[in-house]
Structure 1
Amino acid sequence: MDKRKEIIKYRFADPQRTYNICCELLEQGKQSGNDYDIAYAYLYMGDAVFAMGNADEALKYLMMAEKIQKQNGFDEQRMTTYNIIGVIYSDMGDLQLSLDYYHAAMELARKYSNIELQAMIYNNVGVVFTYAGDYVNASEYFKKSHEFLNQVNDGDNELSCSRLSLYLNICEGLQNKKCYAEEKAYLDEVMKTIDKDTLTPLERIRVSHAYGMLYYETGEYEKAFDTCVKVVALCENNMNDIDLFDDYWDIVKLLINMDKIEYTYGILEGLSNMAEKSDIDRKRIKVCRLRIQIYEKNGEKEKYAQQLRRYYQLSERINTERNNIIISAIDNRCRLEDERKNNRRLNEDNLKLMRESEVDELTGVYNRLAFRRRYDRMYRYALRNAQTYCMGIFDIDFFKVYNDSYGHIRGDKCLMQIAAILMHTSDGDFCVARYGGDEFVFMAYDVSEEKVRDFLHRLIENVRNAAIEFDSKPDGTDKVTISAGAVIQQHATEGTRLTDLLKQADKMLYEVKQAGKDGYKISELVYFTEK
């Protein structure tokens, strides 16, 4: 069989075998002086290495491929190279550079009327918007991808994999928008149209994960648990594909939420190995969050504190890595400049969302700009669906004294620790941000007072359990604490502004401060957790 065809045959099923065939093709290309084979080999070596978890090595091979492709005008290879580089940068968290590469790939795909690749790129851009929490735009891109896929034949292995991936992404988008009935109908319809016998174990894991999440969200916990158990069984022999990291992570999180911790240990260890093998701190910190949840539930305070410390360390490292990524990405952005100059349709797909940084540089949570943007989208959604809306604010008790006593470096570290605790405690249920100074804010729609109260109770307890030293604290205690205020609007109302809700939440915070701090207040109800 032709080595190029072999590469495509094993590309998704066996990355190591694919890599070995690429090495054979590379040697063959060098001996015959065939630049096309050399570029092709480097392209899919990068793809295979990324599937095995090494993003840096993958980028090295892909850049070598791209250089040869540009020199020789191998544009049809180059569009695939750009698409894969976009996937890698998306996985690394550089969403801006990811979108730049997707744009470059799309320009070439349009030029050569490559419908299949355009469908894949629309799907991948939808994933980027999902990462950014913009489920509305994500859904639009998934729909575009679906439209393109309907124009082409299903026979190609690569395309079939993309089709299933797209269907599952659409389901995830419906779930994020809480359209559970629509998601169930869509998922069932997908399973009717797909030959289940041809699904690989990895594809079965993704499908089972989709059903498990759906059952959990709709309260069918027994079905959710049974599905998770099946996934755990499948995972035992399929823990090497880094693309499935997030699926595995969600399954463990699901089992923890259902208090089935005993089923998580094997897969959690596999996740930890995947994170270490990939050498990506964002994956390590996700594993760390799961361990924190488990130790918190089990009451293992020493292990809990140890993981919190690791969480802080990883958070600091991620901030450093983010800066390094920005620096190293400058050269890669320059590579794309000629593609940008050739066509100024970059904003056609509303990609300017990613142009401004939305992350607070110190703490790694959203900044005020990002919070305001998300309020506009989230509140509109709550308004359309007549749902409740919660807005809250908290700050660190006596933080000025803390800064004056320990200095700004310790003050900054304290803010980073509080932000890490906030992200862990919110666990994706609340949109959280640093609003300024030592003030943090949070919001959510379709939440009950009980859920908000539980969140604030755990947040305050987790800050206490972190035991951040504060010897000069004016109230006589020696640990950092926080005070919080929140308001719940029973029905989202036309004309309600962010400042209206924040003002009411801030009033609740003020009343907590007046009553002694280290507590919280929701609307007109005061709750102080046991000290």
Structure 2
Amino acid sequence: MEFIEYGSEIRKRLDAVHNNCGRNPEKMEQECQELEHLARKMQDDKLMGFVAFYRGQNAYLTNQMGDLFRYCLEGMEYQEKAEQWEYIVLSYNLLGITSVNQGNALFAIDYYLSGLNLCEEHNLLTDAYILNMNIGALYMRFGAYEAAHQYLDRSLKLIMQDKNKERYYNDITVLYISLANCEMHRDNISGVNYYLKKVLSECYEYIDNQIKIYVKTFQVQSYEKEEKYEQRDRLIEELTQEFPKIQINMDLYEDFYNFAQYLLTIKKYDDFEIIMHKLEEPIDQSKLIRQQMQFIQLQMDYYDAIGEEEKFNEAAKKNYKLVSRLEEEDAMTMRSIIKMRTDLELNKKQSKKMELENKKLQKQSETDSLTGMANRFYLNRYAEKIFQHCYVNKTMLGMEILDIDYFKQYNDNYGHQAGDNCIKMVAEAIKSLEKYGHIFTARYGGDEFVIIYDGYGKEEMEQFAKELKEKIIQANLKHEYSQTAKIVTVSQGICYDIPDDKQKIWDYLYSADKILYHVKKQSRNDYGIGHCDHML
């Protein structure tokens, strides 16, 4: 963005804002206040748009996500008047990334597509690369690797048109690794090695330390894929020495989180602790409730794996307290969406092709790719809706949580493919209950599932639980490593009640989880049922 029409004093302040963004927030804000004072005095929309954009950018880089929405939305009003289309596109991108981090994939795709429409309308093709890259990443999140590859490849072609762009080597490295990740999930090792070779030969000496760490975390998993365990372990050791030295922002947080999750699955507990300790500060600073909950849930998996019951329970309580804060975060996001649509999008055209892609992604965002069941995102939406329905109509609401007995042992000994097949078998048995009507089923995550019963009594819910238990037993899926039976079984916790004004839907989920915990402590391969205790 050119500002040659301004005097040297203003241009000096503009440069100071740009240079201190994300590096020295206090100095940047001091310069922004001076520029804002001048801009208001001059009634200058262009300067106001600049100030708001960099405040939003700084909020993103320093993980202050609440401020990000405010500054981006403020800025767009000025930027549209000043025709600063590039700033609006980049703001759409930041809002999209933040929406993904908040668990709102539908909002994210809406932001990304709005940005792409502006790029097309104002011929900002080089700025479209980042939006295509992030849409590709969103498709990868939902396991749609063919579609992801198309967007990532489109992004690669666009970025290569401008090799002088700031952070060119960092961005093209992320693209190469993302494409390599697609190839890995398509079991194309030669494709993985092709993109890794391009990173190491073309980019590696020019990229930031954080991006180098990102490359190495992917290399570890490529060694795993090729069963090169010695190289894998050496690189893990190298990473755990380097990881504490880098500054982490939210751009690559999810990739590093996934790496920590991978270390846990291969039982590299000491290395896992090092990575998690480094991730704790940025996730706390981000104020992203869903990611904080995700982080705590991974800690709980770790405590469960090493038998730290007291720490597991402490983490579970902390996780439960975060649930109530989700409503405030969701309300803020919704207000932002409504304002943006009202101010900027009412008269914008939407291309037919992008609308179809949006619908496709909406379906994928609500569906678990392995089982075809509703996923956690859709479960959250449905659960709130059915809770209100039962509250208004004074009808019974039942919530069941179940998981597969000794699934970790099954997965570790029979392999991930067999583990996936086991999950799919249990999912099909659970989905068979939907034939009775007013029963909703979802995969909660891992080997955990949720069933919601609308309007059924205790005896009927018990009958459904027995039917499901027997159906899974009749499948007779071998499980030699179970301490309950030599076949796959499940444990079930069910709570029921007529909702009142003292309860929330999460009270039902929490109560069902406690009942499940009691069942597993007593015997497993069984079910428990009880009232929802809103005093929990």
Please tell me the TM-score bracket, short chain as reference: 0.5 to 0.7
Instruction: Name the residue aligned to 2:79.
Output: 69
CA separation in 2, counterparts of 1:198 and 1:93? 33
**SS at the partner of 1:192?**
helix
What does 1:80-119 correspond to in 2, within 5 Å?
A: 80-119=90-129
1:236 aligned onto 2:244: yes
| Distance (Å, rounded) in 1 between the aligned partners of 2:190 and 2:153 | 18
1:280 aligns with 2:288: yes
Q: What is the match of residue 389 of structure 2?
A: none
| Correspondence list, 1:127-206, <5 A | 127-150=137-160, 152-194=161-203, 196-206=204-214
CA contact (8 A) 2:73 2:340 kept: no
Query: Hey, what does 1:120 align to over in structure 2?
Result: 130
CA gap of 1:24–1:441, structure 2 versus 1, over 3 A, is closer
Structure 1 residue matching 2:23: 3-state secondary structure: helix
- Other structure's SS at 2:246 match: coil
Is the alpha carbon distance of 1:289 and 1:2 closer, same or farther for their aligned partners in structure 2, counting shifts above 3 Å? Answer: same
One-letter identity of the residue aligned with 2:251: D
**One-letter amino acid matched to 1:177:** R
Equivalent in 234, 237, 250 of residue 226 of structure 1: 234
Partner Cα distance (1:88, 1:217) in 2 = 31
**How much has 1:333 moved relative to structure 2?**
3.3
**Cα pair distance change 1:253/1:2, threshold 3 Å:** same
For residues 201 and 233 of structure 1, the distance between their equivalents in structure 2, rounded to whole angstroms, comes to 13
> Cα offset for 1:122?
0.7
Task: Show the counterpart of 2:360.
Answer: 353
Report the secondary structure of 1:16's partner residue: coil
Pick closer, same or farther for the CA change 1:111–1:263 going to 2, 3 Å.
same
Structure 1 residue 508 corresponds to structure 2 residue 518: no
Shift in Å, 1:422: 9.3
Q: Whole-Å Cα distance in 2 between the matches of residues 337 and 61 of structure 1?
A: 18
Query: Is the CA contact 1:508–1:521 (under 8 Å) kept in the aligned structure 2?
Result: no
Deviation at 1:184, TM superposition (A): 1.9
| Per-residue deviation, residues 108-154 of structure 1 (Å, max 9, x unmatched) | 2122322221111111111121223322211111111112223x121
- Residue 492 of structure 2 is matched in structure 1 by none
Counterpart AA for 1:253:
Q
Write the distance in 1 (CA, Å) between the matches of 2:467 and 2:238. 42
Number of residues of Structure 1 aligned to a counterpart in Structure 2: 428
**Whole-Å separation in 1 of the counterparts to 2:279 and 2:61:** 15
Residue identity in the other structure for 2:283: A
1:292 to 1:192, Cα distance in 2 relative to 1, 3 A: same
Structure 1 position 31, deviation (Å): 1.8
Unmatched segments (≥5 aa) in structure 2? 1-10, 376-394, 450-457, 479-483, 490-522, 527-536
Task: Tell me if 1:211 matches 2:188.
Answer: no
List aligned pairs for 1:86-485, cutoff 5 A: 86-150=96-160, 152-194=161-203, 196-311=204-319, 314=322, 318=326, 321-322=329-330, 325-326=333-334, 329-340=337-348, 342-345=349-352, 347=354, 350-356=357-363, 359=366, 370=374, 408=396, 411-412=398-399, 414-415=400-401, 430=420, 435=431, 436=434, 437=439
Q: Give how far 1:89 is off.
A: 1.5
Residue deviations 1:66-104 (CA, integer Å, cap 9, x gap): 111123332232222222222222222211121122122
* Alpha-carbon distance between aligned partners in 1 of 2:304 and 2:264, rounded to the nearest angstrom: 11
Residue 496 (structure 2) aligns with: none
Cα displacement (A) at 1:255:
2.6
Q: Deviations over 1:154-183 (max 9, x none)?
A: 122144432222222212222233323311
- Letter in structure 1 aligned against 2:183: L
* Deviation string, structure 1 residues 367-390 (Cα, Å, up to 9, x no partner): 96658xxxxxxxxxxxxxxxxxxx
| Alignment-mate amino acid for residue 192 of structure 2 | E
**Structure 2 CA distance for aligned equivalents of residues 329 and 365 of structure 1:** 27
Tell me the amino acid that sits aligned with residue 295 of structure 2.
Answer: V
Cα distance change, pair 408–328 in 1 and its aligned pair in 2 (3 A): farther
TM-score (norm 1): 0.68
Counterpart of 2:108, as a letter, is: S
Relative to structure 1, the CA distance from residue 16 to residue 357 in structure 2 (aligned partners, 3 Å threshold; closer, same or farther) is: same
The CA distance in 2 between the partners of 1:156 and 1:474, in whole Å, is: 63
- Match among 36, 47, 52 for residue 57 of structure 2: 47
User: Is the Cα contact below 8 Å between 2:107 and 2:337 reproduced in 1?
Assistant: yes
* Cα contact 1:127–1:138 (8 A) shared by 2: yes
Amino acid of the structure 2 residue aligned with 1:21:
M
Which string of whole-angstrom CA distances, capped at 9 and with x for unpartnered residues, describes residues 4-36 of structure 1? Answer: 45555565xxx1326733541452243253432
41-50 or 301-310, which deviates more: 301-310
Q: Among residues 25, 31, 35, which one is paired with 1:28 in the alignment?
A: 35
Counterpart contact for 1:509–1:520, Cα < 8 Å: no
Amino acid at match of 2:76: E
Maintained 8 Å contact 1:86/1:101: yes
1:210-260 residue CA offsets vs partner (Å, 9 max, x unmatched): 111211232222322222233333321324412232232223223323322
Q: 1:442 to 1:507 in 2, by over 3 A?
A: farther
State the distance in 2 between where 1:206 and 1:304 align.
29
Deviates more, 1:167-176 or 1:41-50: 167-176
Q: Once the two structures are aligned, what percentage of the paired residues are identical?
A: 15
